[in-house]
Structure 1
Amino acid sequence: MQTPSPDLQAIPPDVFCLADYERHASHNMPAGAWAYLQGGAADEHTLQANARAWQAISLVPRVLRRTAGGHTRTELFGRTMAHPLMLAPIAYQLLAHPEGEIGSALAAAAQEAGYVLSTQSSTALEDIADATALDHLRGPLWMQLYLQPDREFTRLLIKRAEAAGYEALVLTVDAPTSGVRDRERRAGFRLPEGVSAVNLRGMSTPPSPTLSPEQSALFDGLLHHAPTWDDIAWLKQVTRLPILLKGVLHPDDARLAVQAGVQGIIVSNHGGRTLDTAITTARALPRVVDAVGSDVPVLVDGGIRRGTDVLKALALGARAVLIGRPAVHALATAGALGVAHAIRLLRDELEAAMALTGCATLADIGPALLADD
């Protein structure tokens, strides 16, 4: 694996927004790692449409409103957060920089942002918790979870997260199989030596079934282990932590999640990495919010690149947003310092957008700020 040179620890002088970090990261990362972390499914229509959907929403600002003394504070699961920004779960961050997930988590803590660790982290979940434990101003620390075929291993993984101090579980539900990732396959990507899903070490793998020629390896094999709504009931029995479902796009699924006792929903299309041409998160968000009402917090990710995007997401009913690829771009460019800078850039842009639309607090942000077109 290519190791970034020491001068990549400094923030380049020409970085003024998240897009600038993407440009630098594309040159700093090996081609295979870039294809894996940056690529999407199939023709990448959803990947590209996510950002365009936020851009297409027009703001209708208010003027001459008192905004002095405003703030970006919000509350989520009993925690007061300095702002509604969180880092989304991204696997194998050692591909981007030697600091990997530790760097991202420390950056999030320094900027009071929430952090969601991937099940497929290349750093142990305990090490992440230990690295941020003494920062009392840090945002929430959550653990993303894929339900594994080995349910006992999954239960023990959850207990490890609870013992380490994680505050919620984020169950990803939109990837019963991997998407058709052509860019990744063309690059011939393989995990390099020294990068692996360390939290899954020791897990037993079910034997592959013997299939007849007319059977499908997917439908008659892999999908027998895919989670269903019954597994939500099982999960609620084995953990005391709040459970959020990540990957909900359909309002009917949002209603089923609430009926199942899920405490939060993350509107996500997996960054366009699973089902290509899936609805954008900007379009799906208000439908999900309407389906669940105000009692269940709804978060969103996918294509958010500007503070105005964050404001639009909040106006559509999101309680917080998660940032994925931009954080990896910043990590690949300047390590933890870059990630912290990227979060600060987005927060500063959100504050500017609030001031320019006449919003002193997040409570002032609502659908009336959005054009009907």
Structure 2
Amino acid sequence: MSLDSENQAGNMQLDQKIYPPLNHIPADIVRANDYERVAANFIPPDRLAYVDGGSGHNVTLRANVDAFTKYSILPRSLKDLSEAHTQIQLLSQTYSHPIFLAPVAHQKLVHPRAEIATAEAAAATDTCMVASTLSSFSLEDIARNTHSQSWFQLYFQAKEADTHALLQRAIRAGYQAIVLTIDASIQVPSDSALKANFTFPDDMQAANIIHQSSSLTPAAASTNHKSIFLRYMQTAATKERVQKLLSVSTIPVFIKGVMSDEDALLYQSLGAAGMIVSNHGGRTLDGVPACLTVLSQLRNAVGKDYPLLFDSGIRSGADIFKAIALGADAVLIGRLQVYALSVAGALGVAHMMKLLKEELALCMAIAGCASIEDIKHSKLHRNTERQ
């Protein structure tokens, strides 16, 4: 089904179901993660299988979510919360809360206004949005609609000139930081997406790179095992590529997709402004560890003052609290963003962010934390493993 076929009578009823009026929030959405349940009524089954899925058997995807259940928040009393707030500072910039909108590609799969609607929600909720290289609208169009702090997520392109052209466009458009994703040169579809026969519609194009010529060699486009390595290396992060990008960027560069101590220390030594602990929401190699299980280890490796963000598996304000308590300075929200966008466009994403901020504030109040810094000094209860 084409997302641009609303004028076709055969699709009108389905389109109205997928794209409800932007001024309507379903009455049964009372928690941020309710959007995950409700979104199934607004996204066609094959696309839902792609959005919901990770890679392979979804082992890592499930582990990302389940990891949060291993910790509980300890209530504290006799704390003065009269001046409590959720502000954070990253690289001398102040953000009103530590919840960012993660880069999510091809948002037109779930809503015709895609990243433009998401950008409007970011502006309405004073949220930093990270725009994707593979967005349905151009990075310039997105920047014009955020009206707030925004970052740009960058993939290495096969041609260095194309990579650096994207970087310069982002800088000119006013993005405050680059998020260099290094863990997704190759992605493996989930079994559920394959069984649902999901394919990208012919008119689903990445607006930022639509004018690039095909840059994969014939060998890299084939399917034998040697070509897998060739394809990987054409767009993979290498030390040389990262150093070159860091040297030419005039805005801070964060590295997204870090999961090991060794990589963290190497990127830090190369001059990366910060890192994002992420396994791409379980969408790369199935079976890698849940992000939450390596977060404290990476925080210890890079030191307490180095900017360290987190994504993968967050579904609630309590999850955000736990991630910060285990070492994150801020978190990025991916799937919940897409679910909310599918249900009610900009209003849905703004409402989802409102709920997350309220859920986080409630956790802070009960835990006696008057600031995000207080969360970092709080202790979580490690739950006993079920027998």
Counterpart Cα distance in 1 of 2:223 and 2:188: 23
Tell me the TM-score normalised to structure 1 length.
0.94
Paired position in structure 2 for 1:7: 20
Check if 1:311 corresponds to 2:321: yes
Check if 1:167 corresponds to 2:181: no
Q: Aligned with 1:171: secondary structure? A: strand
Aligned with residue 126 of structure 1, among 140, 149, 152: 140
Q: Aligned with 2:194: secondary structure? A: helix
Structure 1 spans left out of the alignment, 5+ residues: none
The Cα shift of 1:38 comes to: 1.5
The answer to whether the Cα contact below 8 Å between 1:18 and 1:326 also exists between their aligned partners in 2 is yes
For residues 127-166 of structure 1, the aligned pairs below 5 Å read 127-132=141-146, 135=147, 138=148, 140-166=149-175
The answer to whether the Cα contact below 8 Å between 1:144 and 1:170 also exists between their aligned partners in 2 is yes
Aligned with residue 306 of structure 2, among 296, 299, 306: 296
Aligned with residue 23 of structure 1, among 20, 27, 37: 37
Paired position in structure 2 for 1:358: 368
Paired position in structure 1 for 2:104: 90
Aligned with residue 287 of structure 2, among 277, 290, 296: 277
The Cα shift of 1:178 comes to: 1.3
Aligned with residue 272 of structure 2, among 250, 259, 262: 262
The 1:8–1:25 alpha-carbon spacing in structure 2 relative to 1, beyond 3 Å, is farther
Q: Percent identity?
A: 42
The answer to whether the Cα contact below 8 Å between 1:245 and 1:265 also exists between their aligned partners in 2 is yes
The answer to whether the Cα contact below 8 Å between 1:357 and 1:369 also exists between their aligned partners in 2 is no
The 1:252–1:213 alpha-carbon spacing in structure 2 relative to 1, beyond 3 Å, is closer
Check if 1:194 corresponds to 2:207: no
The Cα shift of 1:100 comes to: 0.4
Paired position in structure 1 for 2:12: none
The Cα shift of 1:167 comes to: 0.8
Q: Which moved more, 1:197-206 or 1:298-307?
A: 197-206
Q: Aligned with 1:312: secondary structure? A: helix
| Count of residue pairs brought into register by the alignment | 368
Paired position in structure 2 for 1:71: 85
Paired position in structure 2 for 1:238: 248
Aligned with residue 329 of structure 1, among 308, 314, 339: 339
Aligned with residue 70 of structure 2, among 56, 60, 63: 56
- Give the root-mean-square deviation of aligned CA atoms: 1.9
Counterpart Cα distance in 2 of 1:109 and 1:145: 21
Question: Which amino acid in structure 1 is aligned with residue 167 of structure 2?
Answer: I
Question: Which amino acid in structure 1 is aligned with residue 83 of structure 2?
Answer: G
Deviations 1:288-316 (A, max 9, x none): 11110023200001111111111111111
Aligned with residue 350 of structure 2, among 340, 359, 368: 340
The answer to whether the Cα contact below 8 Å between 2:102 and 2:334 also exists between their aligned partners in 1 is yes
The answer to whether the Cα contact below 8 Å between 2:70 and 2:382 also exists between their aligned partners in 1 is no
Aligned with residue 109 of structure 1, among 88, 108, 123: 123
Structure 2 spans left out of the alignment, 5+ residues: 4-14
Counterpart Cα distance in 1 of 2:37 and 2:222: 48
Counterpart Cα distance in 2 of 1:152 and 1:366: 41
Counterpart Cα distance in 2 of 1:359 and 1:67: 7
Counterpart Cα distance in 2 of 1:370 and 1:110: 32
The 1:214–1:32 alpha-carbon spacing in structure 2 relative to 1, beyond 3 Å, is closer
The Cα shift of 1:113 comes to: 1.1
Counterpart Cα distance in 2 of 1:115 and 1:214: 38
Q: Aligned with 2:346: secondary structure? A: helix
The Cα shift of 1:201 comes to: 1.6
The 1:95–1:63 alpha-carbon spacing in structure 2 relative to 1, beyond 3 Å, is same
Q: Aligned with 2:250: secondary structure? A: coil
Paired position in structure 2 for 1:252: 262
Deviations 1:9-42 (A, max 9, x none): 2110110112211111112111222122221111
The Cα shift of 1:190 comes to: 1.9
